[in-house]
Amino acid sequence: MNDWPELGTSVELIVKTWSGEGSYTGISLPSPEPNLVTIKLNNGYNISFPKSYVKSFKILSNVSDKVELDEDKQIQDESLSLVYLIHTGGTIASKVDYKTGAVSATFEPNDLLNSIPEIKEIARIKVLKLGNMWSDDLRPRHWNKMLEASEKAFSDGAKGVVITHGTDTLHLSAAAMAYGWSGGGQRPPGRIVLTGSQRSPDRGSSDAAENIIASVMWAANGPPVSGHRDTSVVILHAESSDGKCAVLPGCASRKYHSSRRDSFKSINQDPLAYITIDNKEIMIKMSDFEPFEARFETSTPFLFDESIKIAEFISGPHLQPSLVESAVKLNFDALLFHGTGLGHLPIANPEEDSIENTKLKIILEDYCNNGGIAVVVAQAIKGPVNLDVYSKGRQQQKIGIIGHKSLCPPGSALVKLHYLLSQGKGREVVSNGWEENLVGENPSFTLD
């Protein structure tokens, strides 16, 4: 098939498979493998066939009428808002290796643009590639790279940025964008969206296209940023089916399902909005909530101290005092505990048969008395840390463990702790900051 038409050409394929012969009409797209042909169907889905299955094809549009898909060559509508697509990797930037069946992060940013040409009708797009990384490999240094990339985009006149990201740690990077831009009481010059997908773009069931379309729509045409819950937002499918995406506060979201397309939820607060996609009609519907007064605009984000080290522990029957003691001896800057229930740790020994609980209590007492920073968050998906209800919690407060009354989700809490430690490594800085509602992570608290 050396005469396969150029990208963006409207074609009709006659394909013969094991199930019979069929006709498919769409726009020619880049293919994930040399032996495949790929088109975007009229319903928005991409579909690929082995070249050997294609019995014939017919060009439906003249070459002069085809859509130019290369980002460096395409003619863009200058009347539209400029949106930067900042590419980090993840499933949204991956494709299936049809030899092994595994998914690899090999899609390039222009591959995304080429496969979703509809977004050029929403905004002018510029692409900035930071890498092709799985999100579980990202470190705080990559948060800083995203902050710096968004700063570059806004200085270039962008109204918004869309960061394509793996979903596994997307909520952490979204929180980092929120604290980095607004932790000190400011707001960024434009909108910041983080999006990803649960299925790679070359799969028929991919959620990538609608997630990107909705994200570009919000970045280009969303409401002005106040700097409270909306500094950064997470936009992904709101339901398992197509047609609706949720706009979630970047400071208070998390992935709650490993494989569903509607894998993200907002925690301890409602979504900011929903975006519906019905063919070419895209609409933003804001949720009902009291609007916040806009903070003052800043052009420069705060960057995280990349030397900070935080040790995380899960409270439970296997939380050993030796593990905590090791982190203390290795001079970690803080200890973060994911507590059970309302935020509890195994530090009581009522039956006198669990000496490790007593040891853990002594280690934490000595650590906090010497200025150490220990913070507890709730393992439960929703609800506050409340150390007043049980005597165990009151004992933890007496020891000096920080976290009482916080509604900040665990992922956002990790980033908040890193942000506060980057301000200054003293216990007082963290203790005071933990009680504040820096970016909307603590909805029960309000700043003056």
Q: Which of 111, 168, 230, 262 is catalytic?
A: 168
Which residues, in sequence order, are CB contacts of 301 under 8 Å at separation 6+? 147, 148, 150, 151, 180, 181, 188
What DSSP state is assigned to residue 200?
Answer: -
Active site residue 195: no
Q: Which of 38, 88, 91, 169 is catalytic?
A: 91
Cβ neighbour number for residue 195 with a 10 Å cutoff: 31
95 vs 82: CA distance, rounded Å: 28
Active site residue 25: no
Beta strands at 46-50 and 54-59: parallel, antiparallel or unpaired: unpaired
Q: Which residue spans within 320-428 are E strands per DSSP?
A: 334-339, 374-378
Q: Give the relative orientation of helices 321-329 and 355-369 as an angle to the nearest 10 degrees.
A: 20
Distances (CA, A) of 235 to 204, 260, 382: 20, 14, 20
108 vs 43: CA distance, rounded Å: 24
Instruction: Spell out a b/e string for 102-125, using b for 16 or more CB atoms within 10 Å of the CB, else e.
Output: ebebebebbbbbbbbbbbbebbbb
**358: burial class by Cβ within 10 Å (0-12, 13-18, 19+)?**
middle
Q: Which of 126, 255, 361, 416 is catalytic?
A: 255
Using an 8 Å Cβ cutoff, are 228 and 295 in contact? yes
Residue 321 corresponds to which tokens in the numbers above?
A: 């005092």
**18: burial class by Cβ within 10 Å (0-12, 13-18, 19+)?**
exposed
Q: Is 259 helix (H, G, I), strand (E, B) or coil?
A: coil
Q: Which residue spans within 78-190 are E strands per DSSP?
A: 82-87, 95-96, 103-104, 124-129, 160-164, 186-187
Q: What letter represents residue 129's amino acid?
A: K
Active site residue 167: yes
Nearest CA-CA partner of 442 in 405, 396, 415, 402: 405
Q: Which of 9, 167, 169, 195 is catalytic?
A: 167
State the DSSP string of 339-352.
Answer: EBTTTB-S---TTS
Q: What amino acid positions are annotated as catalytic residues?
A: 91, 167-168, 255
